[in-house]
Amino acid sequence: MDTITLIQPDDWHLHLRDNQALKTTVPAATRSFGRGIIMPNLTPPVTDVKKASAYRERILAQRPKGSNWQPLMVLYLTDNTSPADIIAAADSGFIYGCKYYPAGATTNSASGVTNLDNMHAVFEAMQEVGMILQMHGEVTAPDIDIFDREAVFIERHLRPLVAQFPKLKIVMEHITTKQGADFVLSAGDNIAASITPQHLLHNRNDMLVGGIRPHLFCLPILKRNIHQQALINIATSGSHKVFLGTDSAPHTQGAKESACGCAGCFSHHAAIELYAEVFDQANALDKLEAFASTNGPNFYGLPHNQVSIELKKQAWQLPDSLPFEDTQVIPLGAGTTLNWKLVE
Ligand code: NCD
Ligand code: ZN
């Protein structure tokens, strides 16, 4: 088999940043995907319909001519979000979810929620109107080891939340652990998860053995190999409960190669090909379309894309760097060779 045809995939979690960055991130997002769930962690964050509408316009202004790619906007939940904000988001027609960041968990999350227990009226409203909750599932308690943040979050917060709001639709964004994979499989159909290419392709040895590789530093942090294997297993299993979410999150080379480097990997230069590599290695290319193109829209209640894309078996080398803002970004897999390439 040397070509694969897929219903056009979508990206259910990405960071476009703002202003000048949009000139590179938006065209890259449209390269293989039909739609993208746009993360709202700008400074200041996208906390209401007005801000989301203005951000959407800035994004659409950079969409290449002829492209039908759609940005699906998301509100950033804070301690001040009200049920009225949720109803306004549902009525907007262009907001497809609300993102929960535990305050301090990751890049630009300082305005995130400080106590999940104070969000009950908001979750009630979301459950009522069918608004999807996009959950960054990590605890931030200082006594919890960074490698355990996701597993502890599931037991401490997610299980009780799911019990309390049994109809609330929740995406566990970018799961990174066996516990995450097991939880999503055991939960009802209102619970799904997205998985990034870096967590399928790498484990923490790749980031730490032989020297620190800051371009593999993202949050939730890469885990040990048994977790990587659990993610590969669930992604390539054909389960309808997991789908593609790159978490493509560009930072300049300088911001990553620093005494206190930023978290986030840029992957939109070769996103679908990076996933194809994983599925090929697992002998599961026949499961790629479900993961990349149909499970996501099915969960979000949206139609599948009408067009298809083609990947060709062809060795090609990823660039060492790409222009970004006034400088450059080091993309995921920089300089390595992939075996599948999008026919553009
Ligand atoms: C993301 C970013 O840079 O905005 N970073 C990351 O490591 N994934 C934030 C996030 O999704 O956690
Ligand atoms: Zn993210």
185-216, pLDDT tens digit by residue? 999 999 999 999 999 999 999 999 999 999 99
- Mean pLDDT, the chain, integer: 97
Ligand 1 proximity of 338 Cβ (cutoff 6 Å): no
d(CA 138, CA 158): 10
Q: Which residue(s) pair with 73 in the sheet?
A: 38, 95
Annotated catalytic residue: which of 247, 286, 320, 326? 247
Find the helix packing angle between 271-281 and 225-235, rounded to 10°: 100
3-class secondary structure, 31: coil
Which distant-in-sequence residues (6+ apart) come within 8 Å of 161 by Cβ?
116, 123, 168, 170
Distance 160 CA to ligand 1 centre (A): 25
3-class secondary structure, 339: strand
Nearest to 333 by CA among 209, 229, 198, 221: 198
Does pLDDT of 1 surpass 80?
A: no
Element (H, E) at 230: helix 225-235
Nearest to 45 by CA among 55, 35, 57: 55
Pocket test for ligand 1, best of 219, 221, 266, 329 (most atoms within 8 A of CB): 219
Does pLDDT of 172 surpass 80?
A: yes
Does pLDDT of 101 surpass 90?
A: yes
pLDDT in tens, 264-275: 999 999 999 999
Ligand 1 proximity of 119 Cβ (cutoff 6 Å): no
Strand blocks (E) in the chain:
3-7, 11-14, 35-38, 70-76, 95-100, 133-135, 170-172, 191-195, 242-244, 308-317, 322-324, 327-329, 337-342
Residue at token pair 């009630």: 124
d(CA 145, CA 182): 20
3-class secondary structure, 118: helix
What's the sign of the alpha-carbon dihedral 10, 17, 317, 214? negative
Nearest to 100 by CA among 86, 92, 180, 87: 86
- 65 phi and psi, to 5 degrees? -55, 135
Q: Is 91 a catalytic residue?
A: no
d(CA 287, CA 242): 11
| Nearest atom, ligand 1, residue 173 CA | 11
Which residues keep their CB under 5 angstroms from ion ligand 2?
A: 247
Does pLDDT of 106 surpass 90?
A: no
Q: Which residue(s) pair with 342 in the sheet?
A: 311
Distance 16 CA to ligand 1 centre (A): 11
- Is the distance from CB of 78 to CB of 152 less than 8 angstroms? no
Split at pLDDT 50, 70, 90, the class of 107 is confident
Ligand 1 proximity of 15 Cβ (cutoff 6 Å): yes
Specify the pTM: 0.98
Distance 130 CA to ligand 2 centre (A): 22
d(CA 284, CA 42): 37
Give me the mean pLDDT over the 168-177 stretch: 98
pLDDT value of residue 11: 99
Share of the chain above pLDDT 90, in %: 97
pLDDT in tens, 21-46: 999 999 999 999 999 999 999 999 99
